[in-house]
Amino acid sequence: MLLCRATPLDGLNLWALGGTGLVAGILGSALGVGGGFLMVPILTLALGLPIKVAIASSLVAIVANSCTAAGIYTKARLTNIRLGLLLETVTIPGAIIGGFIAAVIAPSILSAIFGLALIYAAYTMLTPKQLMYEDNSSANGSMARNIATDNLSASLANSYYDQNLDKIVTYKVNRTPAGLVAGFFSGILSSLLGIGGGVVNVPVTHLIMGVPIKAAIATSTFIITITTAAGALIYHFHGHIYPFIIAPLVIGIIIGARIGVELTQRAGGILLRRIFGVFLIIIAILMFLKTANVI
């Protein structure tokens, strides 16, 4: 007599998975964070998946999301490809290290770390004046606070057309060493928490390196395309990836990614960030309760 081994797919609603992917695709591509912050809590708290399976599924779905969004952002010339490739040199090693660390950490510890990361993400979303600040001098061809300190920073300068402002925004990139250090830890968080690293990439490239917010979002999306793929391979090696969980997630997230990109190009997104920030705080509280075995 053959015994069927239970899998994390048993009892799952495929429509719920697709809907999760759709919403995560919209928010993830609009904010440049990949969508893992939404997918992982829903997959664990609402759908009952083990957190490592949820993180693995999130990473694969983020690859689909970021590939779709990055292609559109690059076509619109919002992506700073040179900066993205530079940061990839540190985010990929970080993602590999994070994947191996996650394989030996207890799920309760992962939940606690994830909750703390959510609080940080909520803070960045609920302080739009810091994150969304754009110097009016960009209309004159440069941003006043973006003063390149070396030849490398100067070579990373770029420009794009902002649909919302209806003008060309030109900028330079500064504090490159600090950005590289932060990028390494972004890679670790990407694999460790299944977040795609965007929650670190966007604030770092915008606040530290002086990249305008839309370009920061587009460049972050480009970065996490490769970073999350590296982390997903580690989870696949440990047997945490289930294709029938990932398939509906990917279908939903690809559709959502196109909607999210359109939102970013046409609007500033401050209200969306505030709503998302409040939601992250709620999810973070639920994650802490889960860590304490309250729920």
Amino acid of residue 97: I
> 20-37: per-residue pLDDT in tens?
999 999 988 887 877 877
Alpha helices in the chain (DSSP H): 14-31, 36-41, 51-75, 81-102, 107-125, 128-131, 151-155, 176-193, 198-203, 213-237, 243-266, 270-291
The token duo for 238 is: 């440990």
Q: Tell me how crowded residue 230 is: count the other CB atoms within 10 A of its CB.
A: 22
The residue with greater pLDDT, 289 or 181, is 181
Q: Reply yes or no on whether the pLDDT at 138 is more than 50.
A: no
pLDDT confidence bin for 120, thresholds 50/70/90: confident
Angle formed by the axes of helices 243-266 and 51-75, nearest 10°: 40
% of the chain at pLDDT higher than 90: 14
Strand partners, 171: 158
The residue with greater pLDDT, 145 or 249, is 249
> 49-104: per-residue pLDDT in tens?
888 888 889 889 988 998 999 999 998 899 999 999 999 898 888 888 887 887 77
Ordered by start, the domain boundaries in the chain are 14-291
The residue with greater pLDDT, 286 or 223, is 223
Q: Tell me how crowded residue 13 is: count the other CB atoms within 10 A of its CB.
A: 12
Distance between CA atoms of residues 217 and 66, nearest Å = 11
Query: Mean of the pLDDT values across residues 191-219?
Result: 78
Residues 6+ apart with CB under 8 A from 104: none
Predicted pLDDT of residue 224: 84
pLDDT confidence bin for 135, thresholds 50/70/90: very low
pTM comes to 0.74
CA 57 to chain centre: 14
The token duo for 60 is: 């694969």
Residues 6+ apart with CB under 8 A from 6: none
Query: Mean of the pLDDT values across residues 44-48?
Result: 85
> 189-201: per-residue pLDDT in tens?
767 766 657 777 8
> 161-190: per-residue pLDDT in tens?
888 778 888 888 988 888 899 888 877 876
Distance between CA atoms of residues 195 and 40, nearest Å = 8
Q: Is 161 helix (H, G, I), strand (E, B) or coil?
A: strand
The residue with greater pLDDT, 199 or 130, is 199
Angle made by CA atoms 225, 91, 106, in degrees to the nearest 5: 95
> 239-268: per-residue pLDDT in tens?
888 888 999 999 999 999 999 898 887 776
